[in-house]
Amino acid sequence: MQQQGTEIARSTSVGITFRYEQGISLILMLPSRGWITLVVGFAAVVVVATLVSCSAGKQVQPQAPSYVTSGKFTSAHPNLLAAAKDYIDTYPTHVQQPIAFTHKVHLQNGMQCTDCHKGVAEGPDATIPNVQLCMACHQVIATDKPEIKKVAAYQDKGEQIPWHRVYWFYQSAHVKFWHGPHIRAGVDCATCHGDMKQQTVAVRKEGLDMKFCVDCHRLHKAPTDCTACHY
């Protein structure tokens, strides 16, 4: 029995129909239960994927030493200042190192450059001594010095000293430099690096720009074609 002015609701598989006594019907269309389940499930997957992506992005990535590169060329720069320095070809002269290594003291004590920079006469790199090489001497020499204690701490932690490069070229220069040919040609280390007997922590004494290198090549009658230095 229906009363005047009242409404009757009837559930359907696709919606709810509202019928009024005056003969007017209003149909509110809703998704079926299967579609609702599918939509809710998809939304849940999106939320979980977003949370996982955000949490992965916040993970602390291990920092590699500055002398370790990705091995891939990229023209990108971390910021505008770095791009400007690349454009005008300027480099830092004094680089902060984790250990205040004194070249002056080591050379005064009779050590040679090749005692630490092994393979410099054969390969492209001068190579950087590992902490084990340093501690081979400093397990018994100057063990009370603050800087030596820092070296020992790196060895105790099983870590290498994260030295920072002093001499390098921007990737956009496409320069390939090999120490070996220069050493075998009799070019003294001081030509590029300055008098290391007067330096403590190494500094960049020469800019190593195009003019510096070409003038040196001409002086030693070395090749000056582009492919001698650029790739």
Looking at this protein, which amino acid is placed at residue 204? R
Under the banding of pLDDT at 50, 70 and 90, the label for residue 7 is very low
Q: Of all helices (H) and strands (E), which one includes residue 35?
A: helix 33-57
Q: Identify the H or E element spanning 152.
A: helix 146-156
- Tell which wins on pLDDT, 171 or 35: 171
- What is residue 105's predicted lDDT score, i.e. its pLDDT? 94
Mean pLDDT across the stretch 187-202?
90
Chain-centroid distance of CA 60 in Å reads 13
Q: Who wins on pLDDT, 152 or 32?
A: 152
Half-sphere exposure of 87 (CA within 13 A, CB side): 8
Comparing CA positions, the residue from 209, 205, 208, 183 lying closest to residue 194 is: 205
d(CA 13, CA 29): 10
pLDDT of residue 159: 93
Q: Please give the distance of CA 211 from its chain centroid, rounded to a whole number.
A: 30
Q: Over range 90-113, report the average pLDDT.
A: 91
The per-residue pLDDT for range 74-83, each reduced to its tens digit, is 666 777 887 7
User: Residue 10 has what pLDDT?
Assistant: 44
- Site of tokens 């500094």: 203
User: Mean per-residue pLDDT for 63-67?
Assistant: 51
